[in-house]
């Protein structure tokens, strides 16, 4: 029997066991996760944030498979659980292509797998959907992303208003804002001579299926070869909104990006549970979202970032488990507490990228400053660092990375709660010329020199 198709999944959403969402959380998700963590002896080690134990990675993969088979995925619209057998899960893994073709013309690329300690460069996904307050800033950001030669794909900014009207989720203005951001993205890519560079975060800030469908009209400039995100509701839940997007994109032939964000401290509990759920999510992305690729960003419920020690460990271990066993090209994204123009941003980003890249991340996205919630709180300098740091990390193995990460966390973890949110674009870049301030460049050089002194092999 072949892999389950989309209608099989839909049918299970209609026929699976019925229960309230709270019962799913409390009586199914939490006890099964606890049991799986104990059964597979998943143990957090705060002294080794990038473990090099392949057997432990494979055990975590098995735990993820069992967890998905035991718990399933909750459909909020039918209050039923979509269930899979272990055999169905393994069939899906066997048949997954492990690659995603993205982009157009000379900007086409093959986004494929890496293994832990792989020297191959990851697919560099550059930029962020962080809200921009003006067309000028959004354009400057995208042009700068496109100018990074090793950028394989980009994310484009969202807007917080159209003609002064605040963008509200699910409203007509959200749709207008999404279409406007696409047009800005299209023009900026053309201007830097990379018109086919894939945009992989469509439509990240517009949650409704209707916006996805509207944005796929040819006059707006998006293509099936861009990346179309379809989110998951934490934890292990979907609704018809997501399933509608998937149904449309499958018919239309677009690259589907399964989007997940396991929350450490939420239903996942601590780092061990988060690692299991993070692993299960990558498999779920293949089965439920029919993903061609995945975007995942584990975060800490209290700090809102991915750079606390326990989240870094969960990232390293689940990245190793899936890069060794799940043929799904995954973009690993780190949310960083420190903002632009702060040293803390660079320390945190370096730690995150060392964990993900040496653990075999097929792709890394340039980390998001100030937890991605500050309007105009991003500049091209953070993107440039993300790519240079990612390339440097690909020259290291997990043991080396673990030693460096141990030093880095000492520099920033005590300040996670009160992290500086840094500058906004206008404070450290010239909006007209798109050039950085001397002060920020100086800080950048200083930090890179400091990190190079910690044996990070920058070019």
Partner 1 sequence: MDKQEILKRLTNAIIDGDEEQAVTSAKDAVNLKMDPMEAMDNGLSKGMDIVGERFGKGEAFLPELLMAAQAFNAAMEILNPEIEAQKKEISKLGTVLIGTVKGDVHSIGKNIVATVLETSGYEVVDIGVDNPTLGIIQQAEKAKVDVIALSSLMTTTMPSQREVIETLKEMNLREKYKVIVGGGPVSQAWANEIGADGYGKTAIDAVEILKGLIG
Contacting residue, 171, 183, 244, 426, with partner 1 by CB under 8 A: 171
Q: Report the alpha-carbon distance of residue 425 to residue 420 in Å, rounded.
A: 15
DSSP 24: I
Q: How many CA atoms lie within 13 A of 139 on its CB side?
A: 15
SS3 148: coil
Q: What is the dihedral of CA 403, 364, 262, 45, to 10 degrees?
A: -10
Please identify which residue in the block is written with the tokens 């099989």. Answer: 8
Instruction: Indicate the residue among 207 and 250 with the shorter CB distance to partner 1.
Output: 207
19 lies in the site for partner 1, by CB under 8 A = no
Q: How far is the CB of 248 from partner 1 (least distance, A)?
A: 19
Question: What pairing do the DSSP bridges indicate for beta strands 153-155 and 255-260?
Answer: unpaired
Q: How far is the CB of 428 from partner 1 (least distance, A)?
A: 21
Residues 245-304, interacting with partner 1 (CB under 8 A): 263-270, 273, 301-302, 304
Contacting residue, 169, 217, 442, 452, with partner 1 by CB under 8 A: 169
Instruction: Indicate the residue among 98 and 170 with the shorter CB distance to partner 1.
Output: 170
Angle at CA 20, nearest 5°, toward 18 and 23? 105
25 lies in the site for partner 1, by CB under 8 A = yes
Cβ proximity of 178 and 213 under 8 Å: no
Instruction: Indicate the residue among 52 and 208 with the shorter CB distance to partner 1.
Output: 208
Instruction: Indicate the residue among 167 and 197 with the shorter CB distance to partner 1.
Output: 167
Q: Report the alpha-carbon distance of residue 170 to residue 353 in Å, rounded.
A: 34
Instruction: Indicate the residue among 29 and 84 with the shorter CB distance to partner 1.
Output: 29
Residues that contact partner 1, how many (by CB under 8 A) = 39
Q: Report the alpha-carbon distance of residue 447 to residue 157 in Å, rounded.
A: 26
Q: How far is the CB of 439 from partner 1 (least distance, A)?
A: 25
Q: How far is the CB of 212 from partner 1 (least distance, A)?
A: 15
Contacts of 228 (CB under 8 A, 6+ apart): 202, 203, 212, 216, 245, 249, 254, 255, 256, 257
Among candidate residues 356, 369, 277, the one with its CA nearest the CA of residue 313: 356
131 lies in the site for partner 1, by CB under 8 A = yes
Residues 203-222, interacting with partner 1 (CB under 8 A): 205-207
Cβ proximity of 200 and 266 under 8 Å: no
Instruction: Indicate the residue among 124 and 281 with the shorter CB distance to partner 1.
Output: 281
Q: How far is the CB of 174 from partner 1 (least distance, A)?
A: 6
Q: Report the alpha-carbon distance of residue 396 to residue 405 in Å, rounded.
A: 12
Binding letters toward partner 1, positions 385-424, x by CB under 8 A: ----------------------------------------
Instruction: Indicate the residue among 21 and 410 with the shorter CB distance to partner 1.
Output: 21
Other residues' Cβ atoms within 10 Å of the Cβ of residue 402:
21
User: Which parts of this chain interact with partner 1 (CB under 8 A)?
Assistant: 25-26, 30, 33-34, 76, 131, 158, 160, 166-171, 174, 205-207, 233-235, 239, 241, 263-270, 273, 301-302, 304, 371, 373, 375
């Amino acid at each position: 029997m072949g892999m389950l198709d989309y209608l099989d999944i839909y049918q299970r959403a209609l026929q699976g066991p019925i229960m309230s969402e709270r019962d799913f959380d409390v009586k199914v998700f939490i006890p099964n996760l606890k049991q799986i963590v104990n059964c597979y002896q998943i143990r957090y080690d705060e002294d080794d944030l990038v473990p090099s134990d392949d057997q432990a990675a494979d055990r975590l993969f098995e735990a993820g498979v069992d967890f998905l088979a035991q718990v399933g995925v909750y459909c909020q619209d039918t209050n039923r659980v979509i269930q899979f057998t272990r055999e169905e899960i393994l069939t899906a893994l066997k048949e997954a292509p492990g690659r995603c073709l993205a982009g157009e013309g000379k900007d086409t690329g093959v986004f494929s797998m890496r293994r832990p300690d792989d020297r191959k460069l990851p697919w560099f996904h550059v930029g962020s959907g962080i809200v921009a307050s003006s067309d000028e800033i959004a354009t400057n950001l995208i042009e700068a992303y496109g100018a990074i030669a090793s950028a394989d794909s980009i994310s484009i900014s969202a807007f917080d208003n159209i003609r002064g009207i605040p963008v509200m989720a699910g409203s007509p203005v959200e749709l207008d804002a999404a279409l406007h951001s696409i047009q800005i993205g299209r023009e900026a890519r053309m201007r830097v001579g990379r018109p086919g560079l894939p945009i992989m975060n469509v439509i990240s800030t517009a949650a409704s299926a209707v916006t996805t469908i509207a944005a796929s009209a040819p006059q707006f400039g998006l293509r099936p070869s861009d990346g179309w995100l379809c989110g998951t509701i934490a934890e292990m839940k979907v609704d018809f909104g997501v399933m509608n997007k998937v149904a449309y994109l499958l018919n239309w032939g677009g690259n589907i990006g399964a989007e997940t964000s396991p929350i450490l401290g939420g239903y996942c509990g601590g780092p061990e549970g988060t690692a299991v759920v993070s692993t299960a999510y990558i498999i779920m992305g293949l089965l439920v979202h029919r993903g061609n690729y995945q975007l995942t960003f584990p975060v800490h419920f209290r700090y809102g970032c991915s750079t606390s020690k326990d989240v870094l460990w969960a990232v390293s271990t689940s990245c190793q488990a899936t890069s060794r066993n799940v043929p799904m090209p995954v973009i690993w994204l780190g949310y960083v507490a420190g903002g632009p123009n702060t040293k803390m941003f660079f320390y945190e980003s370096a730690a995150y990228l060392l964990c993900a890249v040496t653990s075999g991340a097929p792709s890394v996205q340039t980390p998001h400053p100030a937890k991605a919630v500050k309007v105009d709180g991003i500049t091209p300098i953070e993107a440039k660092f993300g790519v240079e740091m990612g390339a440097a990390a690909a020259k290291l193995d997990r043991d080396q990375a673990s030693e460096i990460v141990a030093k880095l966390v000492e520099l920033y973890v005590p300040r996670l709660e009160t992290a500086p949110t840094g500058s906004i674009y206008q404070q450290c870049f010239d909006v007209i010329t798109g050039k950085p301030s001397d002060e920020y460049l100086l800080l950048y050089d200083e930090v890179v020199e400091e990190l190079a002194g910690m044996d990070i092999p920058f070019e």
